[in-house]
Amino acid sequence: MTKNISLSLISTFALLLTGCSTVVKTANLSDDAEYYWLGSSSSNTKTIFNINDEKVTLHVVFKPNFSWSIPTFIVEWIEPDSSVYLSRPITTKYGNNSVLITSLPIKGNMPSRSPGEWRVQLKKDDAVLVDFPFIIEK
């Protein structure tokens, strides 16, 4: 009887671990991001943009070699009214899969006609890894 209880407990524990593995895997991915920032170029970090800025760029740097394959993410640029302006797949860049860079054109495009608080979200397997607010002002 003790053996049956032990096996049941072990089986239950194994099932719990198996059921949690997806959550842990997704959480580890965001833990592997060393840092991220917004800017109009790689050297100009900011969160307030003007309608005359060329673009807003999201940079995400992961720990070196966090993945042996090239992961695909979804980047969403969200308007001040919470509607998704642009959603598209994106992959990491460069040989070690550690850098992700994506931009939203502002000047002369719809974002320049919709000032306010925008957001950019980076997602992997429906989990939000980065949720970064920024402002486009006149």
User: What residues does each domain of the chain span?
Assistant: 1-31, 32-137
Sign for the CA dihedral angle at 57, 61, 62, 65 comes to positive
Residue 63 is classified by DSSP as P
- With pLDDT > 90 as the criterion, what percentage of the chain qualifies? 38
Give the list of residues 6+ apart from residue 114 with CB closer than 8 angstroms, or none.
79, 80, 85, 136
> Mapping DSSP to helix (H, G, I), strand (E, B) and coil, where does residue 123 land?
strand
Pair of tokens at residue 58: 């999201």
**Which CATH code is given to the segment(s) 32-137?**
2.60.40.1930
For the chain, the distance separating the N- and C-terminal CA atoms, rounded to the nearest angstrom, is 74
Q: For residue 56, what is the enclosing H or E element?
A: strand 55-62
What pLDDT was estimated at residue 9?
33
Instruction: Determine contact, residues 34/62, Cβ cutoff 8 Å.
Output: yes
The residue ranking higher by pLDDT, 103 or 61, is: 103
What pLDDT was estimated at residue 85?
97
Q: What are the C-alpha distances in Å from 131 to residues 38, 85, 95, 96, 99? A: 11, 15, 26, 24, 17
Q: Give per-residue pLDDT as tens, 64-87.
A: 655 556 778 899 999 999 999 999
